[in-house]
Structure 1
Amino acid sequence: MTSTGLWRQPDFRNLWLGQTSSMFAANMIAVMLPLLATQLLDASVFEVGVLAAAGHLPYLLISLFAGVWLDRRPKRPTVALADALRAVLLVAIPVGWWQEWLSVPLLAALAFLIGVCSVVSDIGSASLLPFLVDRDDLIEGNSKLELSASASSIGGHAIAGAAFQFLTGPVAMVVNSVLFALSALFTGLIRKKEEPAEVEEGQSIWTDMAEGIRFVIGHVTVRTLILATLIVNFFTALAEPASLTFVTKTLGIAPVWVGVIFASSGAGALLGAMLAGPISARLPLGRLLILTSAVAALASLLTPLATFMPVPVAVALLVVMYTVDAAVIVVYNINVRAYRAAITPDAYQGRMNAAARMAVLSLVPVGVLLGGGLGMLVGVPWALALASLGMFLSTVVLAASHIRRVERIPDLEPREPVADVVREEG
């Protein structure tokens, strides 16, 4: 199939359109929330960490329940409902601003509730892709979705900074509500019918959850991929409060330039999504994952370096860091997601994605809270440097595992019982 083959599939197009709208809104919110907290509500580094933790906490609390729930019922309407709820929740921000009761605790509460909806939407949409496309189209499908993520990151971050400055952040949040509503609409237009899940009478949600956990823990490949990604996410989260404070406060630049810095990650992601297919075809999968992990860690060292530089040089270094880091992480993510989906039976897609997302994000709330405290204790440069060095542990995990010898992603759907899959991988 050619690289444009999936565009001819209406269901994939609707999934793509829905996810593009959702990603655009999410990227705008990622810039607007910390700007609202730091510039309008004068939030401290620790409060920024609390705000970030609130958005990530639902991945730890409800991911497993969401995975079982999604495996038991049609995913399409559930994803559409979650996006519609996100659209409604965001309206509280401009209302709170107009009524003069907007505060950091309110932002944190809304970030938590939006995060709950994001858990359901993210797990559901990730599980829909292997249902809508063939296994050998997963790289193409993930690449197209990553292209959307990249484009929405560039546009969303840049527009968010400008909108915050010229429309004020609370008013600009209305745009994100519209985008989430569009996501719900397009997802609802997917026509392919999902077969009802086979659930034994009396089988509890805890039994299903245990089966999903047993699959993820027992499958050595899935387990190793999750551990490597967890390490990257933890140390990225550790750096987040110090990095956000450095960009939004210390540099003293206009919000529009804050948007440009964050938008550079979108440019890098766009580059990574365009190169993922050709690079994946030329390099063995295991070596590719090790290489991209190492380059991401190296690129992150530019951020602590920027703290010692004059403002123009610091901005330039941050743009380079966000660009390179995003490019290699996108190549890494496309291959990891396609690999995990290809080696997971359809009956376990929801629970595998739920367990994976919960695991890789489980330490993010801890990371941002520790990062906020670490930034106040040792200062921004040292906090950023320690986080960058920690990211190299992910490269070590991959290089020490059997994944370094993996040549390619399998193109057939596995249908064996879980125990058989575990034996083959072990």
Structure 2
Amino acid sequence: MSKNLKILFLSRIFSEFARAMYPVVLPLFILKLTNSLAISGLFFTCAMLPQMFLMPVIGVWIEKQSKKKVAMFSLLGLLILTALEFLILLLGFRPFIVIGMISALMSLLAVTVELATKVLFTEIVPKNQLEKYNGLKSVWDNIATFGAPMLSTVIYGFFGFKFVALLCAMMYLIASFVLSQMSYQVNSDKEVNDAVGFIGNFKEGLRFVKAHKGVRNFYLLASALNFFVANQEEVIFPGIVIQKYHISSQFFGLLLVIYTLGVILSGVYLAKKSESNSRHFLSKLFIVNSSVMVVMGLLSVVFQGQARFLFFSLFLALEFVIGFITILINVPMTSYFQSVVPVGYQGRVFALLSFISGFSVPLGVTYSGFLASKIGADWAYIMNNVCVILIVLVIFSRSDVNGD
């Protein structure tokens, strides 16, 4: 592993840990501040809107800049914002609007860091090793996001939100300093034409996606997954595990633990492979993944709320399988984009994908919530994944996406 890659990984460990800590306790703090779920929901919607709508702009802008500098200064921006939040709260002020503005800016800077490091990763990793190191990256990212919520809730419970903000500031400082040690040659992106401006470059990115069937089809697959499957933690699992089987919320947290273990093990497996080609099995992995989810829904239907211990044990085992397969899908998809899309287009391509996800996930949650209220969470889970399987079969039958 090169020195630059080690630096990038180390920087991401600290930044991802901070990024995972903050959103866990912020809802608790806002709810305590407002004592209203409606106002809390409106707060987070407003905080997310700038990030969602500015993603295409950020994608084009990043391609003209040094990815290292963009990531480093964005991390410094996050450091300043979290430190400012700590000072405001330390002085006893609780300005709701100011905290909302800080949260919106932090959300924007966090996705800028994610986008910049994703393109930077492509620039410093050989194409034939993208899948291997993306697998390793997923291991460290998931370890960070797994441990961060537990630590943040403990700190919040004993010391309050301001000390969570302080710890995040310290982690962003370390992440920025570590990244500054990287030896980086600025990549000149010839695909970005300064003469045509943002609109022209954005349209050029859209034309690139339209002209490449493989990229376009993976866009459709990612959107389908985000719409039909990304809602399981918010709607499906609570509906099945808590409402139907009346399993304690403490045990409900085991689902995330087991899923994360599957994800980490899968990432280790990919990282161990010297040169992976999991993309050639993506169609089968998509179908297997959704088939496992269909089985989970059918188990809920068959058990009919009875034999809770046996049902939950089987549910946990299948959730581990889903975590394992999910990384076998996500890592090759990301590696595919990084290997096929020229670096000069990657900012736009990844930003557009995030922009689409920003709409498809909440729409999917709303749709699944409505569907689950009508036919039950288990049947909604079954129907959603049958739709995914049908979409996969249609897309992969039209062209050889695996080999594109």
After TM superposition, the score normalised by the length of structure 2 is 0.79
Supply the distance in 2 between the matched residues of 1:97 and 1:384 (Cα, whole angstroms): 45
Deviation of 1:291 after TM superposition, in Å, equals 2.8
Partner of 2:264 in structure 1? 270
Deviation at 1:127?
0.6
Partner of 1:16: 9
Post-superposition CA distance 1:22-51 (Å, at most 9, x none): 22223334543455567886665x778766
Shift of 1:361: 3.6
Equivalent AA in structure 2 for residue 228 of structure 1: L
What is the aligned partner in structure 2 of residue 230 from structure 1? 223
Judge conservation of contact 2:132–2:276 (CA < 8 Å) in 1. no
Give the C-alpha shift of residue 347 in structure 1.
2.1
Q: Which residue of 1 aligns with 2:354?
A: 357
Aligned twin of 2:290 = 297
The aligned counterpart of 2:322 is 325
RMSD: 4.0
SS at match of 1:400: helix
Aligned sequence identity (%) = 18
- Residue 64 of structure 1 and its aligned partner are, at CA, apart by 1.6
Q: Which moved more, 1:11-20 or 1:374-383?
A: 374-383
Structure 2 residue aligned with 1:421: none
Partner AA of 2:4 in structure 1: D
Deviation at 1:15, TM superposition (A): 0.9
Unaligned runs of 5+ in 1: 1-5, 407-424
Residue 183 of structure 1: aligned partner: 175
Unaligned runs of 5+ in 2: none
Decide whether aligned partners of structure 1 residues 284 and 137 sit closer, same or farther in structure 2, where only a CA change above 3 A counts.
Answer: closer
Secondary structure class of the residue paired with 1:403: coil
1:58-79 deviation per Cα after TM superposition (whole angstroms, max 9, x unaligned): 5541222111111111111111
Distance, in Å, in 1 between the alignment partners of 2:322 and 2:391 is 14
| Alpha carbons 1:371, 1:383 under 8 Å: kept | yes
Letter of the aligned partner of 1:341 in structure 2? Q
Measured at CA, do residues 310 and 101 of structure 1 come closer, stay the same or move farther in structure 2, by a change above 3 Å? farther
**187-196 or 116-125: bigger deviation:** 187-196
Q: 1:214 aligned to 2:176?
A: no
1: CA distance between counterparts of 2:147 and 2:324? 16
Larger CA deviation: 379-388 vs 174-183: 379-388
Aligned length: 395
Change (3 A) 1:392 1:182: farther
SS of equivalent residue, structure 1 residue 72: coil
- Letter of the 2:347 partner, please give it: G
**1:78 and 1:365 mapped to 2: Cα distance?**
28
Q: CA 1:48 to 1:335, structure 2 compared with 1: closer, same or farther past 3 Å?
A: farther
Q: 1:150 aligns with which of 129, 132, 142?
A: 142
Q: Deviations over 1:75-118 (max 9, x none)?
A: 11111222233334445389569857477x88776554332112
Specify the alignment match of 1:204 in structure 2: 197
Change (3 A) 1:280 1:366: farther
1:140 equivalent in structure 2: 132
In structure 2, distance between residues paired with 1:25 and 1:122: 13
Give the direction of change, closer, same or farther, for the CA distance of 1:14–1:26 in structure 2 (3 Å limit).
same
Q: CA deviation at 1:20?
A: 1.6
- Where does residue 32 of structure 1 map in the other structure? 25
Give TM-score scaled by structure 1 length: 0.76
Distance in 1 of aligned mates of 2:120 and 2:348 = 13
CA separation in 1, counterparts of 2:363 and 2:399? 29
Structure 1 residue 64 corresponds to structure 2 residue 56: yes
Q: Does 1:241 align with 2:234?
A: yes
